[in-house]
Amino acid sequence: MSLNLEQARFNMVEQQIRTWEVLDHRVLDVLRDVPREDFVPSRYRKLAFADLRIPLGHGQVMMKPLEEGRMLQSLLIEPGQRVLEIGTGSGFVAACLARLGAEVVTVDIHAELADSASSRLKRLGFDSVTVETGDALGDFSPDGDFDVVVVTGSSMAVPERFEQWVKPDGGLFVVRGKSPAMEAVYVSRAGADRWRAESLFETDLPRLIGAEDEPTFDF
């Protein structure tokens, strides 16, 4: 491992993530330990630790490292919890969730991304992650319910379909609103039909496939 790579990783954690109020030592340790450079497309490897959203193809991106840090901190993952990730992308978030102790099911609508992430996760030893290909807003139906559901694409509002997969006292991370000022929220389930939303940060992520905005026409 080159010294420059390790210095870039250190700078990412200390100068980007920690300064954006990510102080949970477990999350910081995971972001130090999981090799982010192995999850970015090879042509962007030199930008693996930059304060950027990295293109993955199919119109999808990796979140900025500081956004990933804030998201992971908000989830309060405990070892043994079941987590569903909607939008596998590179597999990096699934790897971080697994390293925090979760049993992870992750689904992506793009078979190419899902297959690539699955191979990468297996090669790196993340055996507690199951990767599936499917349409989370369509015919995909997970097995059972989850302590946490993580949605890494955006939608105008929180899809009710996803709420059905959250256990009582569980939670849902989702990005809602309209570009360029979307809101990342963690929505806690306080009862059968009671939810409490906590605003986390502003961002701007690609839409989930099937959650695209209706076209507007000027007359």
Does the structure show a pLDDT above 70 at 112? yes
Tell me, yes or no, whether 85 lies in a domain: yes
Tell me, yes or no, whether 152 lies in a domain: yes
Q: Could you give the angle at the alpha carbon of 198 between the alpha carbons of 192 and 199, nearest 5°?
A: 140
| The two three-digit tokens of residue 39, written as one number | 């999850």
* Between 87 and 211, the higher pLDDT residue: 87
Domain count of the fold of the chain: 1
Cα(93)–Cα(9) distance, rounded to whole angstroms? 16
Cα(153)–Cα(163) distance, rounded to whole angstroms? 15
Tell me, yes or no, whether 26 lies in a domain: yes
Tell me, yes or no, whether 197 lies in a domain: yes
3-12, 58-67, 159-168: segment of lowest average pLDDT:
3-12
Tell me, yes or no, whether 209 lies in a domain: no
- What's the pLDDT band for 213 if we cut at 50, 70, 90? confident
Residue pair 22/70 in contact by the 8 Å Cβ criterion: yes
Residue 59 lies in domain: 3-203
CATH code for the domain in which residue 123 is found: 3.40.50.150
